[in-house]
Copies of this chain bind each other. A is one copy, B any other.
């Protein structure tokens, strides 16, 4: 079965001690004093579903699990990634974490074809770091986006300025002025300017690239109430005619709102990526809530795995199981034909992604 993970990241192959592993386990900086992130729905899911893949009993003790993981070395990641059953990975390559493997390594470990997703903020920050004149920058970005082999662009505007992106493209002089201000203030390594974010989002769509947008939960430097996908409404209404898709990632706890946006705007798609592994055994509820009003042709699958191969396995296993559970209950109740259930599964796990990204 084809399984397209339309948003993920590379993994760390080096041996990890418990604090570093827990630091990658979810979005916290690390566990609070006296607590462990293994004591969470995600922690339980790793103990339950990853331990057997490493040859341990289900629900293995965290220390035993990490000991075994270190003993196996990169083989642990290979086993977990292979077991995830992914066939295509769309990889956000924009996080400069030297611990991460490269795309070829990831492809080999997963036995999957990889595609690049270009992170817009990283592109501009790199150009500024390389000394590009701010006057030349718009043209260079436009050329890069037009010539890229990446299958999509991604924006983390949610982290930097919030999701109230503008309902028209900022003019180039306004962009140049904003970049000049950022450079003068020494704020070019973490661009947080609404004109810059707005211009990038518009420019990616105009270049014909599908645009992935982080929405909903994330890590500690996110203001979650500014990452509500509903804040995108004016931007979505204004960009519908441009053509390329806008893909709302994660969305939790706003997944119902993301589903609604995907219903009323033809170019909007949604997933519950990161929320699936984060909510562990409870994730079927999150998937069901997304499907309440999102048309099945607008829903995609992603793991948003980062750093740990466990997140690929848990994310893909729980999504497939949750979707099968939700559709299976409908089928058992006679609300859905088995053939339609199979067809809808195919749409969500691969066909929608194939269509959106032209894979």
Please list the residues of chain A having a beta carbon within 8 angstroms of any beta carbon in chain B: 26-37, 39-41, 44-45, 48, 58-59, 217, 219-225, 228, 230-231, 233-234, 237, 252-253, 256-257, 260-261, 263-267, 275, 278-282, 285-286, 288, 291-298, 330, 333-337, 340, 344, 347, 355
Contact = CB atoms under 8 A, between A and B. Distances in A.
A230 B224 contact: yes
A263 to B, nearest CB: 5
Nearest to A164: B225
A335 B44 contact: yes
A161 to B, nearest CB: 15
Copies of this protein, total: 3
Given A32-B266, A355-B34, A292 B297 contact: no
B344 A39 contact: yes
Given A266-B28, A295-B31, A335-B281, A233 B225 contact: yes
B334 A48 contact: yes
Contact of A225 (B34, B217, B230, B337): B230
B291 A260 contact: no
A222 B263 CA distance: 13
Contact of A256 (B41, B44, B252, B297): B252
Nearest to A262: B32
Contacts of A237: 220-221
Contacts of A285: 288, 292
B292 A224 contact: no
Contact of A279 (B219, B264, B293): B293
Contact of A220 (B29, B58, B265, B296): B265
Contacts of A30: 266
A18 to B, nearest CB: 15
A35 B298 contact: yes
Given A225-B228, A281-B330, A292 B41 contact: yes
B37 A295 contact: yes
A279 B292 contact: yes
Contacts of A347: 39
Cβ-closest 9 pairs across A and B: A35-B297, A253-B256, A225-B230, A32-B266, A279-B292, A39-B296, A220-B264, A40-B295, A281-B335
Given A32-B298, A279-B293, 4 more contacts: A41-B293, A217-B260, A220-B237, A282-B292
A296 B39 CA distance: 6
Contacts of A228: 225
B282 A44 contact: no
Contacts of A280: 335
A266 B40 contact: no
A288 B282 contact: yes
A261 B253 CA distance: 12
A294 B35 CA distance: 12
Contacts of A288: 282, 285
B293 A40 contact: yes
Contacts of A291: 41, 282
